[in-house]
Structure 1
Amino acid sequence: MKILITGAAGYIGRYLTWQLEDRHDLVLADAFEPDDSRVPWIFEPLNLQRKPEYIPKPSPNHRFHVGDALDMDFIRRITEGVDAVIHLTGNRDSNERPIVCYEVNATGVFKMLLACEEHGIKKALVASSINACGWFYNRVTDRPR
């Protein structure tokens, strides 16, 4: 099966690529190269029976595309000829850049699903983000609720 994984340079995308790369033809896409230092959270230890720094390498079973999750031409190009889509792309900047976050997390999903419909793709999995409504980890207080 030919599967598109968006957000492939991220934490879940890397693990999923590792799990599927030997059994499927993968099309990988993200806004960054998988080894891009601008996305430091992707280097967190995975603890998944494989070295933490796992980065998808060039392979006959997958190709990596870098592009904008809101660019419909890019989306159409990467969805062409695939059987299924696993859409992991997300933006966690809702506090600093709420409009960009909304566009990527909502409009980007809508555009991906439109492209799936255009190409007759019947299988699509869309994952959201714990950060879709704000980066909240630093907001914990001792105040009773």
Structure 2
Amino acid sequence: MNDPVLLTGAGGHVGQVILDGLRDEYDWRLMFHSEPAKEPDFPYWTGEVQDYDDVAPAAEGVGAIIHLAGDPRPSAPWKSVLQNNIDGTHTVYEVAVDEGVEKVVYASSNHAVGAFESDERTPEMYRTHDEFRLDGTELPRPGNKYGISKATGEIIGRYYHDKYDLSVCNVRIGNLNENHPPIDYERGQAMWLSPRDCAHIHQCTLEADYGYEIVYGISDNDRKYYSLERAKEVLGYEPMDNSAEWSGEEKVVKEQ
């Protein structure tokens, strides 16, 4: 990717991890919801992601958009996810088409299929995780209104890919945790995404060629119940971390 890359939601946790990991790799353009506390190293804009006139200047001349902005709370109420997540995503795609952007990377979430994990009515093969893994071909099954908004964002991207031939990659981001993976092995460790794997998979989305994809953004955890095969095959994703093996000391050694 030689053209500038716009990162919406640049002030959020995922945005900071991506920017820290890929700071020197791209000519970044940043969009914040409000004025950042520290002057960024790259050109930036502030505004509402659902406001076309706020987003359009930030997207001028960029080749790709990594769209992270929105309400990230699993408990977010409908009014907020409708405005910030669904309307905001629709606006980003409208701007992308009008500005001639080639690629949109959308921060989806494991919450788009969260009910597969928690509903006792789910068939056993989905809940045991040993022989079956969700791979992105399954229908959405959100477990909360935030998940509804993320599944809707994936569908919006499908429309814009089909109608305007945008390259769209939806990354169903797992549990991004900078410290030790959560102790809850069944959920927290299975869904863990290390910071460097987070940066790496997003770099892969910017460099790979694809049409429309849904991939899972997690590290290569031992008992994962999301498949990494599509991310590896299409994006060239090569995760470096595993929640079952990770420790602070090992992480330092691997990064040297």
Q: Could you state the TM-score of these two structures normalised by the residue count of structure 1?
A: 0.67
Instruction: Identify if the C-alpha distance between structure 1 residues 96 and 84 changes in structure 2 by more than 3 Å, giving closer, same or farther.
Output: closer
Identity %: 28
Answer whether contact 2:81 2:145 (CA < 8 A) is retained: no
Among candidates 6, 10, 14, match of residue 4 of structure 1: 6
Q: Secondary structure at the match of 1:127?
A: strand
Q: Which has the larger share of helix? A: 2
The answer for the alignment partner of 1:46 in structure 2 is none
Instruction: Identify if the C-alpha distance between structure 1 residues 81 and 96 changes in structure 2 by more than 3 Å, giving closer, same or farther.
Output: closer
Distance in structure 1 (CA, Å) of the matches to 2:18 and 2:83: 25
The answer for the alignment partner of 1:124 in structure 2 is 104
The answer for the alignment partner of 2:85 in structure 1 is 105
Which structure is richer in relative contact order (CA contacts within 8 A, separation 6 or more)? Answer: 1
Residues 1-145 of structure 1 aligned to structure 2 (within 5 Å): 1-35=3-37, 58-59=40-41, 62-92=42-72, 95=75, 97-129=77-109, 133-134=144-145
- The number of equivalent residue pairs is 113
Answer whether contact 1:2 1:24 (CA < 8 A) is retained: yes
CA drift of 1:108 comes to 0.7
Q: Secondary structure at the match of 1:126?
A: strand
CA drift of 1:66 comes to 1.5
Distance in structure 2 (CA, Å) of the matches to 1:27 and 1:113: 17
CA drift of 1:134 comes to 4.5
1:52-111 Cα distance to aligned partner (Å, 9 max, x none): xxx7x532xx12222111111011111111110000012145756421221211111111
- CA radius of gyration, larger in: 2
Moved over 2 A (4+): 32-35, 92-97, 128-135
Name structure 2 gaps, 5 residues minimum. 113-143, 147-256
Which amino acid in structure 2 is aligned with residue 65 of structure 1? W
Answer whether contact 1:94 1:102 (CA < 8 A) is retained: no
Answer whether contact 1:90 1:128 (CA < 8 A) is retained: no
Answer whether contact 1:6 1:88 (CA < 8 A) is retained: yes
Instruction: Identify if the C-alpha distance between structure 1 residues 83 and 3 changes in structure 2 by more than 3 Å, giving closer, same or farther.
Output: same
Q: Secondary structure at the match of 1:81?
A: coil
Q: Once superposed, what is the RMSD of the aligned Cα atoms?
A: 2.3
Q: Could you state the TM-score of these two structures normalised by the residue count of structure 2?
A: 0.40
Q: Secondary structure at the match of 1:90?
A: coil
Q: Secondary structure at the match of 2:108?
A: coil
1:16-70 Cα distance to aligned partner (Å, 9 max, x none): 11122212110111213444xxxxxxxxxxxxxxxxxxx7x532xx122221111
